[in-house]
Amino acid sequence: MSDHPVKKVVIVGRDDALWLSANVLWRALGQSGLDITVVELPSLLRPGDVYPTLKQQEAYHNLIGINEGPMMKASHATYTLGQRFNNWSKTKPPFIHGYSTYGRPLNRVSFHHYWVKARAQGLKAEFEDFSLNAVAAKYGRFFLPGEAVDGFAICDYAYHLEAQGYCHVLKTVALDRKIKHVSGRLAEVARDTLSGDITGVTLTDGQAIEGDFFIDASGAESALLGEGLDVGFDSWRQWFPCDRLMTTYAAPLAPLPPFSQVSAFRSGWVGLYPLRNCTAVQQVYTSHDLTDEAAYEAAGIFTSLKLNPDAVVTPFTAGTRRRFWEKNCVAIGEAAAVLDPIDSVRMHVNLLGLSHLISLFPIDRDCGIESTEYNRNVHSSLERIRDYQLCHYVLNQRFDQPFWDHCRNIEVPDALRYKLDLFEARGNLVVYDDETFEEDDWLSMLLGHGLIPKAYDPLADQVSDAEAIQHFQKMLGFIKAAVEPMKPMEETLGIVPIRA
């Protein structure tokens, strides 16, 4: 038993990171008698802000007791079967990264090796044609995974969540759980003069909240870890040159597409995320090429949508804090790491940090052992996400455009360079520890961007061409038969489709 147990946790922050932290901590440790206090700082959210998620989000909702139906209605949410990448090449058509497995292995050899071999022999079917999710998304159909497809593929879905509504749901659930709550603006972070630990925070109205352990969920300002404990920030600007995020919205799309779209343009990319009540728009670009005013005009032209004029531009630098757990404080979400918005990773970074925190939650206020392991695990996980995201930029085929030419020449980290070189040489995909994106995610992204292996696994030659063709035909036939009766997403959501 500990002589100095952690009895009181104080969570200081705002929006998604704050309320996810409160609910995860209560669900995991509330019954043990842990005293949780939430200090809510002013929200930074605006109308039209969106949280696109990864496919892991549904599992987290189940773990923390969030009912999907009411949550989606309150946050004007839609489902998404994948992401469509448009204009990342001047010559190749768009591709869809579907949140499902691709094809089926044969004789314990991964399907993509057979596809690479068949492609060299004249196969016209794209790799995405062997993904149930990608094909359904392409034809505007939606389905919830079930027994009808479980034997053929592993299928999943993610969400587009209207940010203000979603945070209201999380806050309501937390307050219903009787989690203590105060709100205000942060004035001071108090520290112990001997240990350097945080002992409490004071708000501008004079309220003082003391605790044994603190969670910094304040966003990119990192009010506790960064400012209070002076933990520095390591920039990833050498890999991610974009430094502006513009957010706005337009009228809802009709019918609702069951996917998001990420479209490259000469100075960055534009993301469209359909919600029930609007279409959220995120434009990520470099200020070296565009002024904020020019970016807004370009987004309107590029999307062919009438954008709300109250666009918000947020400067950002991708990167991480040098440590994520320092003394008695853990940073969650953007207080720990600001990632490029591509691939919808913001929400996952919150849950990544929280899952590691729960597994290593300190038994004693002296938590140096736990913090060392936490920092190692989270650092590795964030590097793996970074490498996946970076591939979109370095594999682009928008030639003769200065921004994209620069991106193709970025010197990537050694682990990623080895992964890319091995895959290009013979189609073998290295899967490191702490990967967020699974093998099929990597295959979809690499092949979709045009990195076609020069060779395939020789074991694929043990299957005759006739047998391989029959295997392909069965898969394509199953997918076609499964997709044809599917309905638009509005039917699953229980809303009346609006036709343009």
**Tens digits of residue pLDDT in 51-90:** 999 999 999 999 999 999 999 999 999 999 999 999 999 8
User: Among candidates 449, 437, 233, 451, which has minimal Cα distance to 344?
Assistant: 437
Would you place residue 500 in the very low, low, confident or very high pLDDT band (cuts 50, 70, 90)? Answer: very low
pLDDT of residue 497: 55
> For residue range 333-362, what is the model confidence (pLDDT) as tens digits?
999 999 999 999 999 999 999 999 999 999
Q: Give the CATH superfamily of 8-78+161-236+318-384.
A: FAD/NAD(P)-binding domain (3.50.50.60)
Would you place residue 286 in the very low, low, confident or very high pLDDT band (cuts 50, 70, 90)? Answer: very high
Would you place residue 166 in the very low, low, confident or very high pLDDT band (cuts 50, 70, 90)? Answer: very high
pLDDT of residue 498: 53
Give the Cα separation of 34 and 31 in Å (integer). Answer: 7
Contact 25, 9 (CB under 8 A): yes
Q: What backbone phi and psi angles, to 5 degrees, belong to 398?
A: -95, 80
pLDDT at 3 over 80: no
pLDDT at 400 over 90: yes
Give the Cα separation of 314 and 49 in Å (integer). Answer: 12
Judging by DSSP bridges, how do beta strands 180-183 and 35-40 pair with one another?
parallel
pLDDT of residue 499: 52
pLDDT of residue 363: 85
pLDDT of residue 327: 96
Give the Cα separation of 171 and 320 in Å (integer). Answer: 27
Q: Mean of the pLDDT values across residues 222-240?
A: 98
Q: Mean of the pLDDT values across residues 448-474?
A: 96
Give the number of other Cβ atoms within 10 Å of residue 336's Cβ: 29
User: Among candidates 389, 373, 446, which has minimal Cα distance to 54?
Assistant: 389
pLDDT at 368 over 90: no
pLDDT of residue 103: 96
pLDDT at 1 over 50: yes
pLDDT of residue 424: 98
| Helix residue ranges per DSSP H, 180-335 | 292-303
Contact 224, 12 (CB under 8 A): yes
Extents of the domains making up the chain: 8-78+161-236+318-384
Amino acid identity of residue 118, one-letter, is: A
> For residue range 7-19, what is the model confidence (pLDDT) as tens digits?
999 999 999 999 9
Residue with tokens 């809303």: 495
Judging by DSSP bridges, how do beta strands 198-203 and 186-191 pair with one another?
antiparallel
> Global pTM?
0.95
pLDDT at 185 over 90: yes
Give the number of other Cβ atoms within 10 Å of residue 357's Cβ: 23
- Give Cα separations from 74 to 163, 379, 471 (angstroms): 10, 34, 44
Q: Mean of the pLDDT values across residues 482-496?
A: 91
Of 112-126, 361-375, 414-428, 466-480, which gets the smallest average pLDDT? 361-375
Residue with tokens 């779209």: 261
pLDDT of residue 177: 95
For the chain, the average pLDDT equals 95
Give CA angle at 96 (90, 98), nearest 5°.
160
Q: Mean of the pLDDT values across residues 402-428?
A: 97
Would you place residue 42 in the very low, low, confident or very high pLDDT band (cuts 50, 70, 90)? Answer: very high
